[in-house]
A and B are shown apart, each in its own frame.
Chain A
Amino acid sequence: MNVIGYGMCVIGAALGIAIAAFAVANSMARQPEVQSRLFTVFILASAFIEALCLIGFVVAIM
């Protein structure tokens, strides 16, 4: 049951990171000169999304 719950939690995080990566790739193609700034924003956003997923992981194994 825990594992199923964690799997569902991963779906959300995967979608979130996928959308972020999609948007960043798009913006980089349009405006290559802001690449470094966009990368920071992307890493930051991914970390926020990932944190939700990790909370699920910790709750699942506890």
Chain B
Amino acid sequence: MGEAFEEVSNEMDELIESFFTTPIFGDKNIGFTVTMFWFLLACIIMLIVVFAYKKKTEGTLVPHGVFANGMEFIVDYVRDDVCKGALGDSWKRHFPFLATVFFVVMFGNYIGMLPTWKAGTGTTGVTGAIALMSFIYFIAMGVRKKGAFRYIKSLAPEGLPAPIAAIVWVIELFSTFLRLVTLAVRLFCNMFAGHVVMGVFAIMTTTFVAPMINHFSAAALGTGAMSILWMVLLLLIYVVELLVSFIQAYIFTLLSAVYIQLAEAEGH
């Protein structure tokens, strides 16, 4: 038993090591890394799926078949729940951007759910880039709506006495930049932690079943039976992760929509 746990600990280190991105060519700063490859693959799959959907529904208003209906359900979900819910009247202008963000994040998450494939959104580099897009977008929208000077001034709510307004302005400025960090870190941590937990259960399954395969005995059968428990747990975590992948895409989009709405809001 002691041996087994040492083995688990070694494999744990290996597992966590494997989730850090490694360059295929070049180095980590300038080059092409493993995560970039998976993210690129996710984007290509996303484009194929979206254009297949568009081709399928061309010239008709009624979607036919499972694929077209399923895609329409997701698009409607983003439109009604995220855009109309958070943005109100101006949803039409921001819907293309938010839908793009949603699909990029969702495919980036789901590509990691296939065995031996890695999540495209599994590193702070990729999530940071997507978060930066949405950060730039909502600031640009605020500036377009109010003008640069008025937008910067409007970070602090109107009608406050001057000294308090200055303090609130500094805090709001800080929290605006913090949004960029929290958007990126939330997505990255959810993907990373979920995959580590799944990996740990997979390692436990194989470690407990290994003695039974090597030389069969009653004791080995006992540990082998225990690996069924780990397997069930692994499947449960897998289902939860399928849910989390969708929820994270939803939250990322919803928060982007809320930030856009805050940037465009007139007065408080």
- Measured CB to CB, the residues of A under 8 A from B are 40, 43-44, 47-48, 50-51, 54-55, 57-58, 61
Select which of A48, A55, A58, A61 is within 8 A of B251 by beta carbon. Answer: A48
Does B121 touch A at the CB level, under 8 Å? Answer: no
CB pair A58 B192 closer than 8 Å: yes
Select which of B185, B193, B248 is within 8 A of A47 by beta carbon. Answer: B248
Q: Give bound CA distance, A47 to B187, whole Å.
A: 11
CB pair B251 A57 closer than 8 Å: no
CB pair B247 A57 closer than 8 Å: no
Please judge, given known A-B contacts A61-B16, A61-B196, whether A54 and B189 are in contact too, CB under 8 Å.
yes
A-B contact pairs, 7 of them (CB 8 A): A47-B244, A47-B248, A47-B251, A50-B190, A54-B190, A58-B188, A58-B193
| CB-CB nearest in chain A for B243 | A43
CB pair A54 B251 closer than 8 Å: no
Q: Give bound CA distance, A55 to B192, whole Å.
A: 10
Chain B residues contacting A47 (CB-CB under 8 Å) are 244, 247-248, 251
Apart from A48-B251, A51-B186, 17 more pairs, CB < 8 Å: A40-B81, A43-B247, A44-B250, A44-B251, A47-B247, A47-B248, A47-B251, A51-B189, A54-B189, A54-B192, A55-B185, A57-B189, A57-B193, A57-B196, A58-B189, A61-B16, A61-B196
Query: What are the interface flags for B194-212 relative to A under an 8 Å C-beta threshold, 1 for contact and 0 otherwise?
Result: 0010000000000000000
Chain B residues contacting A40 (CB-CB under 8 Å) are 81
Dominant secondary structure of chain A at its interface with chain B: helix
Q: Give bound CA distance, A20 to B268, whole Å.
A: 28
Chain A residues contacting B248 (CB-CB under 8 Å) are 47
Select which of A43, A44, A48, A54 is within 8 A of B193 by beta carbon. Answer: A54
Query: What are the interface flags for B238-251 relative to A under an 8 Å C-beta threshold, 1 for contact and 0 otherwise?
Result: 00000010011011
Q: B172-191: which residues lie under 8 A (CB-CB) from chain A?
A: 185-186, 188-190
| CB-CB nearest in chain B for A57 | B193
Chain B residues contacting A50 (CB-CB under 8 Å) are 190
Chain B residues contacting A44 (CB-CB under 8 Å) are 247, 250-251, 254
Which 10 pairs between the two chains have the least Cβ-Cβ distance? Answer: A54-B189, A54-B193, A51-B186, A57-B193, A58-B189, A55-B189, A47-B247, A47-B251, A58-B192, A54-B190
Chain B residues contacting A43 (CB-CB under 8 Å) are 247
Q: Give bound CA distance, A53 to B189, whole Å.
A: 9
Q: Give bound CA distance, A61 to B19, whole Å.
A: 12
Chain A residues contacting B196 (CB-CB under 8 Å) are 57, 61
Q: Give bound CA distance, A58 to B244, whole Å.
A: 16
Chain A residues contacting B81 (CB-CB under 8 Å) are 40
Chain A residues contacting B190 (CB-CB under 8 Å) are 50-51, 54
Q: Give bound CA distance, A61 to B192, whole Å.
A: 11
Best-surrounded residue of A48, A54, A57 (most CB of chain B within 10 A): A54
